[in-house]
Structure 1
């Protein structure tokens, strides 16, 4: 049985400026699937990312680096960097529990109550209920019932 890989999309970005300039990291999303699918999503995010700093960008460069991307934006006085990293999720202490598989028994289609008839019971023929491909009645049983008005 093969397991499905979950990838963390990590963004590390420069915050503040001058002597207060520092880097903050955040896991911005998880992608379940192949490495190439996760890397494609990471690249999409890197290309569309608009960093908070610099306020007046002069030049923007996006580079591929190993399992991620590096966005370098030059401002009037300083350069700011945002690193986009793809990382395999190995453990998550706050992950929700995996849902247990649900096995549902097929539900028989509802049968509309028979209207009183003057015909003898043995001659009465119930109309067939039309079902879609999932077995759900096309016309709800309650539609047209006078007792629901």
Structure 2
């Protein structure tokens, strides 16, 4: 087992009662780092964990075991256990894909800007045969209401 890696935090708990009592497991988180860091986070979660059974807990004991913790909660008639385990993640079929490296394309050459159009005051107005401007000077002005 490697010392640094990705560690899954697994919680196995007793659910149901009577003949329907069974254990279910779920991964409640991941820790990237050392096994000791993962164990510390697992212990924090174990201390805060509140199991659904028993409904009226009489006694709660949190025990350290080699790969995690064991929580034993005594109820009025039965005891319920929750096991907290650190396990090294070896494979995850639903892990997000690593992003592909981004290859930057060379910048495209900037086309030369066309020469600026002459300002309206600098342009010679187009005149009709009688010498009257084809386009009135006020047409297209933005400073008029």
Residue in structure 1 matched with residue 27 of structure 2 by the alignment: 27
Residue in structure 2 matched with residue 88 of structure 1 by the alignment: 88
TM-score by length of 2: 0.66
Residue in structure 2 matched with residue 54 of structure 1 by the alignment: 54
Residue in structure 2 matched with residue 65 of structure 1 by the alignment: 65
CA distance in structure 1 between the aligned counterparts of 2:98 and 2:4, rounded to whole angstroms: 13
Higher strand share: 2
Pick the structure with greater CA Rg: 2
CA distance in structure 1 between the aligned counterparts of 2:80 and 2:70, rounded to whole angstroms: 10
CA distance in structure 2 between the aligned counterparts of 1:101 and 1:44, rounded to whole angstroms: 37
CA distance in structure 1 between the aligned counterparts of 2:71 and 2:102, rounded to whole angstroms: 44
Q: After the TM superposition, which parts of structure 1 deviate over 3 Å for at least 4 consecutive aligned residues?
A: 100-104
Residue in structure 2 matched with residue 6 of structure 1 by the alignment: 6
Secondary structure in structure 1 of the residue aligned to 2:23: strand
TM-score by length of 1: 0.65
Question: Structure 1's 84 and 94: CA in aligned 2 closer, same or farther, altered over 3 A?
Answer: same
CA distance in structure 2 between the aligned counterparts of 1:8 and 1:103, rounded to whole angstroms: 33
Unaligned 5+ runs, structure 1: 105-149
CA distance in structure 2 between the aligned counterparts of 1:37 and 1:29, rounded to whole angstroms: 13
Question: Structure 1's 44 and 101: CA in aligned 2 closer, same or farther, altered over 3 A?
Answer: farther
Superposed, 1:124-143 pairs within 5 Å as: none
Aligned residue pairs total 102
User: Any idea what the Cα deviations from partners look like across 1:96-147, whole Å, max 9, x if unmatched?
Assistant: 112345688xxxxxxxxxxxxxxxxxxxxxxxxxxxxxxxxxxxxxxxxxxx
